[in-house]
A and B are shown apart, each in its own frame.
Chain A
Amino acid sequence: MLRELRRSLVWYLFIAPTFIIYGLFVAYPTLQTFRLSVFQEVATKQQFVGAVQYIRLLTTDVFYASLVNTIGLGLAFLVIVVPLSLVLATLLNQLRVAPNLFKTIYFLPQITSTVAIALIFSYVFNPSWGLVNGGLHLIGVSDVPLWLAEPRLVLGSSRTMATIMAVWTALGYEMLIFLAGLQAVPAELNDAAVVDGAGPLQTWWYITIPSLRPTIVFIVLTGTIDAMSRFSDLWTLGGPSGSPARSLQTIVMYMYQTAFEGNDFNLASAMAVVMFLIVLILTLVNFRLFLRRDFASAE
């Protein structure tokens, strides 16, 4: 056993830096988050209080609002971006003129900082002279939506604008991922379908979409996690409280407010734990759909 360990020493050295960083910046902080969430600060000392922070969370309307907001924005985003990028990827896959040019253009928003995009979009959607409303003025519409100034849950509201912004930013990326998935569909499957007399729509529904299942799962999963951790673009637009009227506040923004404006690290940690549990459940659900089939065959 000792000899095996000695021979394995080199491998342990190889993984050491990674695990040191992991220990310092992943394991320790995560455990600390759990720990902080069951404590309370009393006269600059930490005192164990069990589930007090969680009960506080459960009775905080603002927390619920931010949670519902986060999930709602995430859902709206996914519902629009997944079909849209799939359609675009399908079209792009069949384009014979300059497909690379289109890939480059569509991916451009992804490499731009979300802060820059938020600033640009705050002007694009300016209620008086922005690109969007200006365009509406041009075609004669007088009752233009208020976009960022509209906190209510209506079509021309801050939330709609935030969703459009998210879709615009991610469309190119999702499209590329779908494109990779489409190009990995074996040609024999399509040929067999043609031999069996399937039309293009049937081929698409019965062969392409099922082959894309892992890709769709990947996109939905990463989209969900990204939606739950949404911060910088909405913060740039409306500050940590997600103005107007908290219509843009996500749970991370509220966590930030609690920790760094309210100085309550314990409550913020409880929030982080709740957020983690939600992400965990969603991840596990997705993994059950995806990994079980693939790992069985690959490994």
Chain B
Amino acid sequence: MQAETEPMPPAAVAQPAERGGFLAGRRQAELARQIVILAVLIIGALSMIVPFEWMLATSLSRSANSSMPRIPQLWPSDASFFNYKIALTNLPVLTYYWNSFIVTASATLGLLLFSSLAGYAFAKGRFPGKSVLFVILLTTLMIPFEMRMVPMYLEMRDLHLNDNLLALILPFIAGGFGTFLMRQYMTSIPDELLDAARMDGANELVIFSQIVLPLCGPVLAALTVLSVLWRWNDVLWPLLVIDNNKLYTVTLGLAVEGRSQGTLTGVVLANTTLAILPIVLIYILLQRFIVRGIMLSGLKG
């Protein structure tokens, strides 16, 4: 808590300091400040939540499909699971989930493994061409995906990998950003630790797996969070590469179906709820973890 000179409290909440003396006035001013801060933040927080709540409410309303009330209701008068029954029978939601899961999990595992290997090499290794290679790798960060998406699509087509989940996994199992993040973190591991292990005769792979990797918990967690978010929510690339709608990911399936269902508001929102529910649940369970990971990556960035 920073020591600061208290600003003059706004006139509306100004309290004379005679009751309880000087200290009581300061405490009241501080309380007033906290209340104002809380009020502002609550308004913002509500604006975050209300759209989701309304989505949930509307998805539970059967009549939403034919007509919506002029004044929005925050809970439907005819709550039922009707829309969900339709959504689950019309769309292979579970298949979509499975696809998303495979893609996200494989890509993330690969990314963690290969980024830490490369990050370790760039952080602690000594080999000719190290700095040049690192700079080359960093250029990935400057080349937006859209810049290479057309040839990547053609490439996948030539490799006969389009309409294959591998096309959604392979490009993302290694890359500049992951390596960069791991390297930045690993440079802070003391060299003495590694040299001691080398003198005991351990080879680099052993050092990597037994010493370095266990120390990388926070950054591995941060990278996991980012990778999962990116792969799960990616729409453009799956859209380009996957034609077979049995291989759609959850987000792509949602987009395609959502755009074609147009007027069935209730059903579309039920689809949407189903699509985001698992991620939201996981998020609520792991939020402390996830939020910390994001803030860590921001600092390193």
Binding site for B on A (CB under 8 A): 4-5, 8, 10-12, 14-15, 17-22, 24-26, 28-30, 32-33, 36, 88, 91-92, 94-97, 100, 102-116, 119-121, 123-124, 126, 128-131, 134-135, 137-138, 168, 171-173, 176-177, 179-181, 184, 187, 190-191, 194, 199-200, 203, 215, 218, 222, 225, 228-229, 231-232, 235-236, 239, 252, 255-256, 259-260, 265, 268-269, 272-273, 275-276, 279-280, 283
Contacts and interface: CB of A to CB of B under 8 A. Distances in A.
A129 B69 contact: yes
Contacts of A259: 150, 153
Given A138-B71, A232-B236, A176 B41 contact: no
User: Ordered nearest first, which 4 A-B pairs have the shortest CB separation?
Assistant: A8-B127, A29-B148, A32-B151, A134-B72
Given A115-B235, A123-B58, A131-B54, A200 B72 contact: no
Contact of B269 (A111, A123, A279): A123
B105 interface: no
B291 A107 contact: yes
Given A15-B122, A106-B45, A200-B5, A134 B254 contact: no
Contact of B40 (A20, A91, A173, A256): A91
Given A18-B137, A239-B259, 13 more contacts: A21-B171, A36-B151, A97-B38, A115-B235, A115-B255, A115-B275, A177-B298, A180-B299, A181-B298, A191-B3, A200-B4, A269-B150, A279-B144
A21 B34 contact: no
Interface in B1-38: 2-5, 7, 33-34, 37-38
A5 B127 CA distance: 7
A256 B301 CA distance: 30
Interface of B: 2-5, 7, 33-34, 37-38, 40-41, 44-45, 47-52, 54-55, 58, 68-72, 114-115, 117-118, 120-122, 125-128, 130, 133, 136-137, 139-140, 142-155, 170-171, 173-176, 179, 203-205, 208, 229, 232-233, 235-236, 240, 250-252, 254-255, 258-259, 265, 268-269, 272, 275-276, 279-280, 283-284, 287-288, 290-291, 294-296, 298-299, 301
A130 B147 contact: no
B43 to A, nearest CB: 10
22 contacts: A10-B203, A11-B127, A17-B173, A18-B114, A18-B179, A19-B133, A22-B174, A24-B171, A26-B143, A29-B152, A30-B143, A32-B148, A91-B40, A97-B34, A112-B276, A113-B235, A119-B258, A120-B52, A194-B5, A215-B298, A236-B235, A236-B255
A116 B272 contact: yes
B298 A11 contact: no
Interface centre among B137, B151, B236 (most CB of A within 10 A): B151
Nearest to B154: A265
Main secondary structure of the interface of A (DSSP, over half): helix
A213 B154 CA distance: 41
A229 B4 CA distance: 43
Contact of B2 (A113, A119, A187, A236): A187
Interface centre among A10, A123, A191, A199 (most CB of B within 10 A): A123
A106 B288 CA distance: 13
B233 A114 contact: yes
B233 A30 contact: no
Contacts of A18: 114-115, 117-118, 137, 174-175, 179
A113 B44 contact: no
Given A28-B151, A111-B279, A232-B255, A199 B5 contact: yes
Nearest to A9: B127
A147 B260 CA distance: 20
Nearest to B45: A105
Contacts of B268: 119, 123
Interface centre among B44, B49, B170 (most CB of A within 10 A): B44
A111 B2 contact: no
A255 B176 CA distance: 25
Contacts of A4: 128
Interface centre among A24, A119, A172, A232 (most CB of B within 10 A): A119
Contact of B144 (A121, A123, A275): A275
B150 to A, nearest CB: 5
Contacts of B291: 100, 103-104, 107, 176
B175 A21 contact: yes
A252 B146 contact: yes
A131 B72 contact: yes
Contacts of B175: 18, 21-22, 26
Contact of B148 (A12, A26, A187): A26
